[in-house]
Amino acid sequence: MQGMLTLETLQAAFDAGEIDTVVVAAIDMQGRLMGKRFHAAHFLNGGHAETHCCNYLLTVDMEMNTVPGYDTASWEQGYGDYVMKPDLNTLRRVPWLDGTALVLCDLLDHHTHAEIAQSPRAVLKRQVARARALGFDAMMATELEFYVFDNSYESLRDLGTGDLVPISGYNEDYHVFQTTKEEPLMRALRNGLYGAGIAVENTKGEADAGQAEVNVRYADALTTCDNHVIIKTATKEIAHAQGRAVTFMAKYDTAKAGSSSHVHQSLWTLDGSPAFHDADEAHGMSALMKHFLAGQLAHAREITLFLAPYVNSYKRFCVGLFAPTKAVWSCDNRTAGFRICGENSKAVRVECRIGGSDLNPYMACAALLAAGLDGIERNLELEPELRGDMYHAEGVREIPKTLREAADLAESSEWLRAALGDAVVAHYVHAARWEVAEADRVVTDFERQRGLERA
């Protein structure tokens, strides 16, 4: 694929004066790229083997605060090192940054070189291996939504976020003229991603003023998640270079539609055949697909922590703005948490609509895959399809309403602990507890506006 590099082609690009910098990055709990910029000469002269980072990177919050209470790293343990092991299969050009390449890393124990169990890439790789042991490749795609503002990040930092100006003035869902206004950014994003070896399909306007979406071709689960984190970074970097800001918050404004990251999923046999399709069954859904979906429905509430990881994530789940409130399934119905797309075709698949654009894709896809595989392993029977407006359906499975509830459900789930590991669940529940505690203690604009005079 165009844009992908090997050590040999990187050497040639360095010799030609095209690349002089290599970003070496691992993934943190928030799904962000964390790492270093290497001079290409050093990277080529052995730096590609490994480097190191502080192990606090998997225990900090969004503000990079050192959060107490983790088993993996703490002041008591002295905050040592992890090994950052470059995955050379991810080495690529970064067209939107001059003279730059990028490689993603796995995080390893400094002494044993075993993968850190709580690291997002490792969590997903274990579930991918589990699927392969059952005879399947997990294929996924994430749709990623975000808002674009005329403000720069610097102006928002200096003047505050009260004067956010969306790049367009009204709902731009599929609206070609409105999206023309943001085309300098979106065209640079499409071309940049293509030049970085990411099979971008399209960009489009989404369901509110200034809201955009980028879609990339489906791939194996690990590649999809690698692409996802690169897309988020690329969008921010290209917007910043153009004096604009973007946000991937799930809900940046009470009155605006939230931003999602829908996850499309299917299993394929190891010889490349779609395992979810059976032309003789209703909707073209094979028995395997029904078991897979049944597992996801059975565990939907337990895994919501990984689809909606912040307090703000739950502000997105509201009636009438295309974010689901019920964890049920339906064919081609955008009010359901799980929508069947491509029915009666070889492209039939499960779209999980619960996740917001703030999710960590590795954790979300790992949890979804683990739930689906449990359905297959236990031959779970698929519950009946629900139709109509799921927002007003009564007596059906609801998505957790708060991060506190989602953390409780994850913590108490014996199945989730068995699937992902006790240490992984404890680690991410602890992160959620900290997030809730931080939100609980902070005085908000909402409280001041309601109570300053009236209380």
Identify the pLDDT of residue 232: 97
Buried b (16+ CB within 10 A) or exposed e, 407-420: bbbbbebeebbebb
> What average pLDDT does range 47-68 have in this prediction?
95
Least confident of 111-125, 320-334, 348-362: 320-334
Which of 336, 248, 323, 247 lies closest to 296 in space, CA to CA?
336
Percent share of the chain, pLDDT over 70: 100
Q: What is the pLDDT of residues 110-130, one digit of tens each?
A: 899 999 999 999 999 999 999
- DSSP, collapsed to helix, strand or coil, labels residue 238 as helix
Identify the pLDDT of residue 310: 97
Identify the pLDDT of residue 181: 85
Least confident of 57-71, 151-165, 325-339, 396-410: 151-165
Tell whether the model's pLDDT for residue 160 goes beyond 80: no
pLDDT band at 164 (very low <50, low <70, confident <90, very high): confident
Tell whether the model's pLDDT for residue 297 goes beyond 90: yes
Identify the pLDDT of residue 188: 97
Q: What is the pLDDT of residues 252-277, one digit of tens each?
A: 999 899 999 999 999 999 999 999 99
pLDDT band at 157 (very low <50, low <70, confident <90, very high): confident
User: Which of residues 343 and 419 earns the better pLDDT score?
Assistant: 419
H or E element that contains 214: strand 211-216
> What average pLDDT does range 139-159 have in this prediction?
91
Identify the pLDDT of residue 323: 87
Q: What is the pLDDT of residues 404-423, one digit of tens each?
A: 999 999 999 999 999 999 99
> What average pLDDT does range 163-174 have in this prediction?
83
| Separation of alpha carbons 55 and 313, rounded Å | 27
Which of 386, 291, 368, 286 lies closest to 332 in space, CA to CA?
386
**Domain map (residue ranges) of the chain:** 7-115, 130-450
CATH number belonging to domain 7-115: 3.10.20.70
Tell whether the model's pLDDT for residue 162 goes beyond 80: no
Tell whether the model's pLDDT for residue 167 goes beyond 90: no
Please measure the distance between the N-terminal and C-terminal CA atoms of the chain and give it in whole angstroms.
Answer: 62
| Separation of alpha carbons 91 and 230, rounded Å | 12
Identify the pLDDT of residue 176: 84
> What average pLDDT does range 384-397 have in this prediction?
87
Cβ within 8 Å of residue 23, ≥6 positions away: 33, 35, 36, 37, 38, 94, 97, 100, 101, 102, 103
Identify the pLDDT of residue 433: 98
What string of H, E and C letters represents the secondary structure of 300-353? HHHHHHHHCCCCHHHHHCCCCCCCCCECCEEECCCCCCEEEECCCCCCCEEEEC
CB count in 10 Å sphere of residue 71: 12
Q: What is the pLDDT of residues 203-253, one digit of tens each?
A: 998 888 889 999 999 999 999 999 999 999 999 999 999 999 999 999 999
Helix-strand-coil split of the chain, %, nearest 5: 40, 20, 40
Q: What is the pLDDT of residues 284-296, one digit of tens each?
A: 999 999 999 999 9
For residue 229, give both structure tokens.
Answer: 């984190």
| Separation of alpha carbons 207 and 79, rounded Å | 44
Which of 157, 94, 82, 155 lies closest to 121 in space, CA to CA?
82
> In the beta sheet, which residues pair with residue 104?
25
Identify the pLDDT of residue 333: 81
Indicate the angle between helix axes 300-307 and 287-298, nearest 10 degrees.
Answer: 80
| Separation of alpha carbons 149 and 402, rounded Å | 28
The rounded mean pLDDT for the chain is: 94
Arch. (CATH architecture) of 130-450? 2-Layer Sandwich (3.30)
Identify the pLDDT of residue 314: 96
Least confident of 48-62, 137-151, 156-170: 156-170
Identify the pLDDT of residue 58: 96
- The dihedral built from the CA positions of residue 215, 220, 221 and 222, taken in this order, carries a sign that is negative
User: Which of residues 202 and 388 earns the better pLDDT score?
Assistant: 202
Identify the pLDDT of residue 352: 97
Q: Is the pTM of this model over 0.85?
A: yes
